[in-house]
A and B are shown apart, each in its own frame.
Chain A
Amino acid sequence: MNTLVTEIRAIITKEKGARRRIKFPLTLWLFILPALTPLTIFWIYPMLYSLYISFTDWDYMSTEYNFVGFSNYADLMTNPLFYGVLWNTLYFSVGVVVPSVFGGLLLAMLVVKKQKGMGFYRTLIFSPWVTPAVAVSIVWSWIYEPQIGLANWLLTAVNLPALEWTSSTTWAMPAVIIVTIWKGLGWCMIFYLNALKKVPESLYEAAALDGASSWQKFLNVTLPLISPTTLFLVIITAVDALQAYDQIQVLTQGGPAGSTRTILYMYYQSAFEQFNMGQATAVATVLVILTASLSLLQFMFSRKWVHYE
């Protein structure tokens, strides 16, 4: 009886509150507009406007332009250079995502236990993430220096041939990938740390009773329970990889011979070097579609990883 009364009271106050809130639309606007104004001007409108420009031949300099329909897209689709760019993007993304996620998991498993020094390792491993990509890429370009760089010194020290690194079409991409992994590994580790901590101890105990080895425990308990985190990390690292720019600009400028030109780099070059806004925005549309598909996947599976928390 008592609970019923409190419940009814709660509903009444809720109703009252609701009515009162709807009565003050001005307050509501004051809460929404400060975010909504810049969101509209610098996100929503540009997205739509970018799509519009992609159907024109605008060159930024002149005020006049023609509506050219799908020809920018058709040009992209028939341009072998663009397929090279898509291939580079795929190469870069897979090259970054797979080692970052696996490496992140391995490191997280090593530092997850509450033991002396673990916090120290975590801090060191995570530290590259907070530093500017431009600055650390400059440092890495010194490490990659072909004649006297540290990378080649290490290679020759173990009797491997020295590499041309960023000036070789074969090794430029791996060089950029290494820097990107180095910077993002700690990020993946942290997410796994959290996921591993949430695996109930009782499941391991049960598995131990069944005589499971550590490897079997990992395979049958840990891996399935952290799979939502794995999926999440694969998607967000891939989304980030699609937007990599800073390290490419410093290390290779998309070269040599376009071997590190990824989709965002191509967008930058067409828009702000060649001022071919039509083509650039068409590339942007492709980038949006790629990102949106990945995000949609994340969204579709998000229920799954919420479930485990």
Chain B
Amino acid sequence: MKQLFTYTTKHFFLLLFSFVMIFPFLWMVVSALKTKEEIFQFPPTLWPETPMWHNFIDAWQLAPFGQYIFNSAYTAIAIVAIQVVNSALIAYAFTHFRFKGKNLLFAIVMLTYMLPAAATYVPSYVILADWNLLDTHKGLIFSNAVSVLGIFLFRQAFMQIPKELVEAAKMDGASHWRILWKVIYPLSKPTFLTFVLISFVQNYNSYLWPTLILNSEEKQLVTTGLRQFFIQEGAYGIQWPLIMAASSFAVIPLLLLFAFAQKWFISGISDQGLKG
């Protein structure tokens, strides 16, 4: 009896808490469906009288959100692809090559891992300006071309692969490139997947750095575009339903991605013991 009571309380608490956690998302969608008058009612209505599905279309047409989402997705995919390849390469060098200064090099990489990215913004901005890469996606991609987290994760994963396997592949005359992608990659797929997901989410969501370097409207990422829409659309107050509809455009793709890949996010992150 006592057990049943604890069990019920626990579920009740968890259900309530989970609801509180996702409530802002629900509130976002519900508010997006309200009319301008309805959204200013106090106390707020929990469900609009007539859902204004049209708000989503209106918001979509007021700013190029399709373009924004495309920009975010494509730059994030390009960045992740580059990061995966070069992190895997250098991690392979760290684990399967012997060379002078290896430890020193790894120490430098580790040191970079500990430093805040923000501290590089001023000089990186100047570099991009010098190379005429400001306001280009190329500049955004290139300035994110390396992930210290990736190097770190892959090195960790590669170290756990039995040396004999690599030696055997070498005996068969496989090149290092082949060994990396035909022997090591299949064995460390979970790490690759975790890294791809996390890096994609981080790059898709990144805001400060893209805001600094991208100016033209058509190059904006969804985060920056959304923030601009937020300021323009009656700055803090008039077009709240449209602002909530626009926020949904930015948030929902990621929630969908998460819904499909949640198992990988959750097990991957905890297994690797990595940091955000």
Contacts and interface: CB of A to CB of B under 8 A. Distances in A.
B41 to A, nearest CB: 7
Contact of A267 (B10, B114, B118): B118
A165 to B, nearest CB: 12
Describe B's contact surface by its main secondary structure: helix
Interface string B139-155: 00011111010010000
Contacts of A110: 10, 13-14
Contact of B89 (A34, A39, A47, A148): A34
Chain A interface, DSSP helix/strand/loop, else mixed? helix
Interface stretch (B20-28, B47-55, B184-192): B20-28
- Chain A contact-residue range equals 35 or more
Interface in A227-264: 232, 236, 239-240, 242-243, 245-246, 249-250, 264
A119 B273 CA distance: 20
A164 to B, nearest CB: 14
Contacts, number: 267
Nearest to B145: A38
A243 B31 contact: no
A244 B55 CA distance: 32
A296 B111 CA distance: 10
A250 B21 CA distance: 20
A145 B31 CA distance: 13
B27 A35 contact: no
A304 B138 CA distance: 42
A239 to B, nearest CB: 7
Contacts of B89: 30-32, 34-35
A142 interface: yes
Contacts of A132: 204-205, 207, 222-223, 226, 250-251, 254
B230 A250 contact: yes
A134 B227 contact: yes
Contact of A153 (B43, B251, B257, B258): B43
Residue of A41, A140, A272 ringed by the most chain B CB atoms within 10 A: A41
Interface in B25-59: 25, 27-28, 31, 39-44
Interface stretch (A82-90, A203-211, A283-291): A283-291
Interface residues of B, number: 94
Contacts of A47: 112, 115, 119-120
B119 A39 contact: no
A42 B22 CA distance: 37
B122 A280 contact: yes
Interface string A141-185: 111010110100100010000000000000000000000001001
B64 to A, nearest CB: 16
Interface of A: 13-14, 17-18, 21-22, 25, 27-28, 30-32, 34-39, 41-47, 49-50, 53, 107, 110-111, 117, 120-128, 130-136, 138-143, 145, 147-148, 150, 153, 157, 182, 185-187, 190-191, 193-194, 232, 236, 239-240, 242-243, 245-246, 249-250, 264, 267-268, 271-272, 277, 280-281, 284-285, 287-288, 291-292, 295-296, 299, 305
Report the 10 A-B pairs with minimum CB-CB distance, sorted nearest first. Answer: A295-B114, A46-B123, A194-B270, A46-B120, A34-B86, A38-B145, A132-B205, A135-B250, A124-B18, A35-B90
Given A14-B167, A292-B115, 7 more contacts: A42-B146, A50-B123, A134-B226, A148-B40, A153-B44, A194-B271, A240-B275
Interface of B: 10-11, 13-15, 17-19, 21-22, 24-25, 27-28, 31, 39-44, 85-87, 89-90, 92-93, 96-99, 105, 108-109, 112-124, 126-127, 142-146, 148, 151, 167, 170, 176, 201, 204-205, 207-208, 212, 222-224, 226-227, 230, 236-237, 240, 243-244, 247, 250-251, 254-255, 257-259, 262, 265-266, 269-271, 273, 275-276
29 contacts: A25-B99, A31-B97, A38-B143, A39-B112, A42-B145, A43-B112, A43-B120, A46-B120, A46-B122, A50-B120, A107-B17, A125-B18, A125-B21, A130-B265, A134-B226, A136-B24, A138-B247, A148-B39, A148-B42, A190-B266, A239-B275, A240-B275, A245-B118, A249-B208, A264-B116, A267-B118, A271-B121, A292-B115, A305-B273
